[in-house]
Amino acid sequence: MDQIALTVIVLGAMLALLAGGVWISLALGICGGIAMLIVKPEVPLGKVLADSLWGSGNSWELAALPLFIWMGEILFRTRLSDEIFRGLAPWLNWLPGRLVHVNVLGCGIFGSVSGSSAATCATIAKIALPELKRRGYDEKLSLGSLAGAGTLGILIPPSITMVVYAVAAETSIIQLFLAGFLPGLLVMTLYSGYIVVWSMLNPDKDPPADPPMSFRKKLAESRNLIPTGLLILFITASLIFGWATATECAAWGVTFSFGIAAWSRMLTWEAFRQSVIGTVRMTAMIMLILACAAFLSKSMAYTGIPKQLAEFVATLQLSPYMLIAALTVMYIVLGTALDGISMIVLTTVVVIPLVKQAGFDLIWFGIFMILVIEMAEVSPPVGFNLFVLQAMSGKDSVFVARAALPFFFLLVAAVAIITIWPDIVYVVPRWAFPNSSG
């Protein structure tokens, strides 16, 4: 059977399984089995499956995944979310848009310790939406900024999605983490810049400023953010200066998170139990997806499809910009139906050879993928951040999607910027690891 017919069969089976509500992990495994039975029926399927399952989980780098998830789960159950709005608000009173910028900064701070877009969006929205509404801020701007800024949870390290990509693409987790810092700041700057411009163009929708507050009072309001700030600085410094590996940073992060929870007097047995349950559920789901994706990857290698596809794209002689534009459109379409982790494990088997053939660095491409996954989080009809905000605000899906649309285009702009100026991605990893390539 030729590769085109086999590709149609495998993709058709995948779509049918997903449409039927089959778990993404099982769909991946079944499609891998179908490909193996068609192309190499003489190969022992059970042995290949067992090797793939063991090899996907037998990774020291992957040990960082449950630890970072646990760190976010612990902090999610402290008073951190309550203190973010209160601690940041006094410092933003002078900016056009004022407290709306708390959405961006708050999501950036919480995202740097949670590693999850959904957790970041839900946590900050729970605090910010009622407060902004009470103070008279424009609801569409508030919802849109939360939808966009909530995606920072997977861009600013440590990020669960980055760990999954690094394992799937067999690249450095720590360099990928370092590469996310400046693009994260870039996206935050674009968001805040839009809020400033919108507020200057709509001054009648911007509530009056709060009464002036002394510097000492501002510090007093922000004192409860100090432990979390120190945790972020410690993890960042450890990554940049090479004091610890990504896995070691995750372990220290869990330890300090327990310390913060104890300091805030929220470390109860129930909170501990819920954090462990949440971590086990999330880790088990991701590990099963990665294991089945590894099996599909090995099956596709037997078929020769990825190699032939890479050779075919090479014959088209697409420019790097055209390839990135095509991949951006593809991921935006995929993002309307799949979550970020599923997008990574479903596409890396085929896309990574294309990216290598085109001469792109895998660290840069990892940041590109994170940005397009962020677009998926705010893309109707199944953008998860839109679901979160729809439930919290009581608004219909069309209203929330329209509110998020400007921030979707800002993410498109961010992709264009890092494509034209890739050093935005490389500068921190190169500074920390001067002998590395990229």
74-119 confidence digits (pLDDT tens): 877 766 656 666 777 778 777 888 888 888 888 887 777 666 676 6
- How far is residue 112's CA from residue 232's CA, in Å, rounded to a whole number? 7
User: Considering the chain, what is the average pLDDT of its residues?
Assistant: 80
Determine the Cα angle at 376 with ends 371 and 382, to 5°: 165
- 3-state SS of the chain is CCHHHHHHHHHHHHHHHHHCCCCHHHHHHHHHHHHHHHHCCCCCHHHHHHHHHHHHHCCCHHHHHHHHHHHHHHHHCCCHHHHHHHHHHHHHCCCCCCCHHHHHHHHHHHHHHHCCHHHHHHHHHHHHHHHHHHHCCCHHHHHHHHHHHHHHHHCCCCCHHHHHHHHHHCCCHHHHHHHCHHHHHHHHHHHHHHHHHHHHHCHHHCCCCCCCCCHHHHHHHHHHHHHHHHHHHHHHHHHHHCCCCHHHHHHHHHHHHHHHHHHCCCCCHHHHHHHHHHHHHHHHHHHHHHHHHHHHHHHHHHHCHHHHHHHHHHHHCCCHHHHHHHHHHHHHHHHCCCCHHHHHHHHHHHHHHHHHHHCCCHHHHHHHHHHHHHHHHCCCCCCHHHHHHHHHHCCCHHHHHHHHHHHHHHHHHHHHHHHHCCHHHHHHHHHHCCCCCC
- How far is residue 30's CA from residue 35's CA, in Å, rounded to a whole number? 9
The string of pLDDT tens digits covering residues 140-193 is 998 999 888 888 878 888 787 888 888 888 888 888 988 998 999 999 999 999
The string of pLDDT tens digits covering residues 204-220 is 887 777 777 787 888 88
Is residue 216 exposed (0-12), middle (13-18) or buried (19+ Cβ within 10 Å)?
A: exposed
Arithmetic mean of pLDDT, 261-289: 82
Cα 92 from chain centre: 26
Residue 44: pLDDT above 70?
A: yes
CB 9 within 8 A of CB 34: yes
Residue 407 binned pLDDT confidence (cut-offs 50, 70, 90): very high
Question: What is the pLDDT at residue 382?
Answer: 58
Is residue 135 exposed (0-12), middle (13-18) or buried (19+ Cβ within 10 Å)?
A: middle
Question: What is the pLDDT at residue 291?
Answer: 80
Question: What is the pLDDT at residue 436?
Answer: 60
CB 78 within 8 A of CB 123: no
Question: What is the pLDDT at residue 413?
Answer: 94
Residue 365: pLDDT above 80?
A: yes
Question: What is the pLDDT at residue 253?
Answer: 82
Least reliable range by pLDDT among 229-233, 237-241, 285-289, 382-386: 382-386
CB 165 within 8 A of CB 115: no
Among 79, 82, 84, 75, CA closest to 103: 84
Question: What is the pLDDT at residue 347?
Answer: 78
Question: What is the pLDDT at residue 414?
Answer: 94
Question: What is the pLDDT at residue 84?
Answer: 67
Question: What is the pLDDT at residue 363?
Answer: 93
Residue 424: which residues within 8 A CB-CB, separation 6 or more?
A: 182, 183, 186, 417, 418
CB neighbour burial string for 389-402, b if at least 16 within 10 angstroms, e if fewer: bbebbebeeebbbe
